[in-house]
């Protein structure tokens, strides 16, 4: 299948009380609107999280207000196909409220024996009011719906939602755990069984859908990227930046990770035209959605805009106009996106699962410094990276120790902070000689301050500055360069029974190292990235920059002037072309919401790009081809982009 590039996903879940589902739906008009927007693929619910089906089902529960005989989903598929628009069927596998109402025995049971209600949901007014147990007879039911949809409609794939893997203590799960020799009273066993259950459901669905054999798209939301490539056939990066779970630090991280996991599979960048799923009354500005999509495009992802259609079937003109404008803007650059790869110098290591604040801030700092980097997990091949960053709390399991040993042996450099590099029991650094420091204890002062010394004295203003996070206590080994020291407070933050030690200014410089350098490792004993998350103190970023500078002198890209710290610069490459994507948008916290209202101008952006032996013939701006004068010497090309508004793409042909 020629995989589509521009996608719309309709997140439609409709209450049983809604009186007119699909009554105003005109499939031909809808498909015309999708065509007008410029989307090539539509994701649309065959079954929503309320448990209702929108297609002509013999097995499932039709939405009660759909007109008799109306095949909402089927009409949509037929009208879209007439216009060469593909449709994937969305089915929610973990949530299905109406099925829970009718079959309480299909619902998850919590450890206390009551119906399970996720603690992360703070009220009953949530799609998670009832959660289905995928080991109950519900499993066969959902499998039969997927089979029915596949057999009945010429869909191009399936987007399957809510593989939550919450532990369940229903009869089916408890018996299942015991059968595998697991102990239902042991939380770890229950968690592991829930994950096994989600994976085995994905496998059974995969056996029905056969995505690789039948050339269909399949993705299970909630499973890891690596699992999805096993059971499914593409990757989806669900990421609304306005949603507290994600924010503006999630997409830069996920995009840099997913591109290292996918081989030839497409990666969709699923943002939204609204602030939140289920928010029917918002339309984000074109600049806000473009920022998400350009960032995704620069990192090899394909645009997918999350949307709602009114339950009556009306697709509001205001949405069509906005999305059409956005896709037209992004599409101008398509020839420079296709099959582009991202050359990089460095990688940040994380578990591959949920990102910690430290991980997010490592991505943010390196982005602010305009470094070119991937995010990798322990399974990636690290051999192409000059530097590996271990942010704050990367403890070295046996598996990681073996990989780090190999990386160091091949000449790789490491930037480590805080506890990173310690063994899992936090007894010692696994590579003490390479790290150049000996572990003493997990935490020093509260609060810890720092000052720089020697050649690095002037890196920060002349006063002790706060780390805003914990420092590990270490001692430098002979030969290690100490570039900064921890400064102790007069006393720790504490309550001593009589006095509250709230005011804790710095006292004296200690001999405890803050930043150290060896040939291969730059180490900061403070949790630099966690500190940046707390206070965004720019001097912490200056420390990070100096650490990188010690490890390698010539980063791939330097923005010498013209782009602010919040501007982003990403290098990509096609045969014969190196490209620099410049993004100048500023997410602003306005009241309780993070918004981007407009694209910002940037002028005279001076760029220096490392060429690694290439000879540049021409530099121009895409898409209009405006020529840019350039100079090439010492394996670098330098040029100045006169102006951009929001997004600009400079191309160096070689």
Question: Which residues, 351 to 370, sit near Zn ion by CB under 5 A?
Answer: none
The binding track of 141-170 with respect to Zn ion, each residue x by CB under 5 A or -, is ---------------------------x-x
User: Is the Cβ–Cβ distance between 159 and 104 less than 8 Å?
Assistant: no
* Residue indicated by tokens 């939301």: 221
Q: Which of 207, 210, 196, 143 is nearest to 168 (CA)?
A: 196
Q: How far is the CB of 182 from Zn ion (least distance, A)?
A: 13
For Zn ion, how many residues bind (rule: CB under 5 A)? 6
Q: Stretches 129-137, 370-378, 538-546, 593-601: which one binds Zn ion (CB under 5 A)?
A: 129-137
Classify residue 274 by its DSSP letter. Answer: S
For Zn ion, which is the closer residue by CB, 194 or 209? 194
Question: Which residues, 170 to 189, sit near Zn ion by CB under 5 A?
Answer: 170, 172-173
CA 371 distance to own-chain centroid: 18
* Residue indicated by tokens 């994950």: 195
For Zn ion, which is the closer residue by CB, 135 or 516? 135
Bridge pairing between strands 568-574 and 473-476 = unpaired
Helix, strand, or coil here: 226? helix
For Zn ion, which is the closer residue by CB, 139 or 558? 139
Q: Stretches 126-134, 465-473, 597-605, 641-649: which one binds Zn ion (CB under 5 A)?
A: 126-134
- DSSP result, 113-139: SSBP--TT--SS-SGGGS-B-TTSTHH
Neighbours of 640 (CB within 10 A): 17
Q: Which of 427, 438, 454, 399 is nearest to 525 (CA)?
A: 438
User: Is the Cβ–Cβ distance between 510 and 487 less than 8 Å?
Assistant: yes
For Zn ion, which is the closer residue by CB, 135 or 444? 135
For Zn ion, which is the closer residue by CB, 168 or 198? 168
Q: How far is the CB of 63 from Zn ion (least distance, A)?
A: 27
Q: How far is the CB of 547 from Zn ion (least distance, A)?
A: 49
C-alpha 321/C-alpha 303 separation (Å) is 17
Query: Is 190 one of the binding residues for Zn ion (CB under 5 A)?
Result: no
Q: How far is the CB of 168 from Zn ion (least distance, A)?
A: 3
User: Is the Cβ–Cβ distance between 307 and 10 less than 8 Å?
Assistant: yes
For Zn ion, which is the closer residue by CB, 137 or 278? 137
For Zn ion, which is the closer residue by CB, 178 or 230? 178
Q: What are the helix and strand counts (H, E) for the chain?
A: 16, 34
Q: In the set 8, 39, 46, 133, which binds Zn ion (CB under 5 A)?
A: 133
Q: How far is the CB of 504 from Zn ion (least distance, A)?
A: 51
Give 17: exposed, middle or buried? Use CB within 10 Å, 0-12, 13-18, 19+: exposed
Q: How far is the CB of 107 from Zn ion (least distance, A)?
A: 8
Q: How far is the CB of 98 from Zn ion (least distance, A)?
A: 19
Helix, strand, or coil here: 297? helix
Q: How far is the CB of 135 from Zn ion (least distance, A)?
A: 5
Q: Stretches 18-26, 132-140, 299-307, 506-514: which one binds Zn ion (CB under 5 A)?
A: 132-140
Q: How far is the CB of 171 from Zn ion (least distance, A)?
A: 8
For Zn ion, which is the closer residue by CB, 168 or 524? 168
For Zn ion, which is the closer residue by CB, 172 or 259? 172
User: Is the Cβ–Cβ distance between 498 and 576 less than 8 Å?
Assistant: no
Tokens at residue 615, please?
Answer: 């000879």
Classify residue 429 by its DSSP letter. Answer: B
Contact residues toward Zn ion (CB under 5 A) are 133, 135, 168, 170, 172-173
């Amino acid at each position: 299948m020629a995989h589509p590039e521009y996608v719309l996903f309709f997140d439609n879940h409709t209450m049983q009380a809604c009186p007119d589902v699909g009554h105003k739906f005109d499939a031909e008009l809808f498909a015309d609107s999708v065509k007008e927007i410029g989307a090539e693929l539509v994701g649309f619910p065959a079954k929503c999280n309320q448990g209702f089906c929108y297609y002509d089902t013999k097995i499932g529960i039709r939405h009660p207000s759909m007109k008799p005989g109306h095949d909402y989903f089927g009409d949509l598929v037929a009208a879209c196909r007439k216009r060469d628009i593909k449709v994937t069927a969305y089915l929610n596998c973990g949530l299905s409220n109406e099925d829970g109402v009718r079959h309480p025995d299909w619902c998850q049971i919590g450890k206390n024996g009551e119906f399970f209600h996720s603690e992360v949901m703070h009220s009953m007014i949530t799609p998670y009011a009832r959660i289905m147990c995928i080991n109950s007879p519900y499993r066969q039911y959902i499998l039969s719906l997927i089979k029915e949809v596949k057999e009945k409609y010429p869909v191009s794939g399936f987007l399957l939602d809510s593989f939550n893997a919450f532990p369940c203590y229903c009869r089916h799960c408890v018996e299942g755990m015991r059968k595998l020799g697991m102990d239902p009273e042991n939380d770890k066993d229950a968690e592991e069984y829930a994950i096994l259950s989600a994976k085995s459901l994905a496998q059974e669905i995969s056996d029905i859908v056969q995505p690789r054999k039948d050339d269909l798209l399949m993705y299970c939301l909630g499973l890891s990227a690596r699992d999805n490539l096993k059971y499914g056939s593409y990757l989806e990066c669900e990421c609304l930046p306005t949603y507290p779970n994600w924010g503006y630090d999630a997409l830069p991280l996920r995009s840099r990770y997913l591109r290292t996991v996918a081989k030839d599979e497409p990666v969709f960048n699923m943002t939204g035209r609204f602030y939140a799923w289920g928010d029917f009354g918002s339309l984000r500005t074109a600049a806000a959605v473009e920022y998400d999509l350009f960032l995704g495009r620069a990192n090899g992802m394909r645009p997918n805009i999350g949307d709602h259609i009114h339950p009556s079937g009306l697709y509001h003109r205001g949405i069509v106009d906005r999305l059409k404008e956005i896709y037209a803007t992004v599409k101008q650059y398509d020839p420079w996106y296709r099959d582009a790869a991202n050359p990089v110098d460095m990688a940040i290591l994380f578990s591959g699962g949920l990102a910690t604040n430290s991980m997010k801030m490592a991505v943010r700092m390196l982005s602010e410094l305009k470094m070119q980097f991937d995010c990798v997990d322990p399974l990636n091949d690290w051999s192409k990276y000059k530097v590996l960053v271990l942010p704050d709390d990367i403890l070295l399991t046996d598996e990681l120790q073996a990989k780090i040993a190999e990386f160091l042996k091949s000449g790789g450099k490491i930037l480590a902070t805080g506890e990173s590099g310690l063994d899992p029991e936090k007894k010692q650094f696994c590579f003490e000689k390479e790290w150049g420091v000996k572990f003493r204890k997990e935490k020093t002062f509260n609060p810890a301050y720092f000052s720089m010394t020697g050649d690095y004295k002037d890196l920060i203003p002349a006063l002790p500055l706060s780390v805003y996070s914990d420092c590990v206590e270490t001692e430098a080994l002979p030969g290690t360069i100490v570039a900064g020291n921890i400064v102790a407070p007069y006393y720790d933050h504490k309550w001593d029974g009589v006095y509250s030690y709230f005011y804790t200014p710095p006292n004296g410089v200690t001999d405890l190292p803050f930043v150290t350098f060896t040939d291969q490792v730059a180490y900061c004993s403070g949790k630099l990235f966690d500190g940046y998350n707390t206070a965004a103190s720019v001097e912490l970023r200056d420390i990070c920059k100096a650490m990188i500078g010690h490890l390698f002198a010539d980063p791939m890209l330097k923005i010498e002037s013209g782009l602010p710290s919040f501007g982003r610069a990403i290098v990509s490459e096609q045969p014969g072309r190196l490209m620099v994507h410049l993004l100048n948008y500023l997410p602003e916290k306005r009241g309780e919401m993070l918004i981007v209202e407009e694209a910002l101008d940037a002028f005279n952006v001076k760029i220096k790009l490392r060429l690694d032996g290439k000879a540049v013939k021409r530099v121009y701006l895409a898409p209009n081809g405006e020529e840019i004068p350039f100079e090439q010497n010492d394996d670098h090309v330098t040029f100045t982009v006169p102006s951009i508004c929001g997004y600009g793409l400079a191309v160096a042909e070689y």
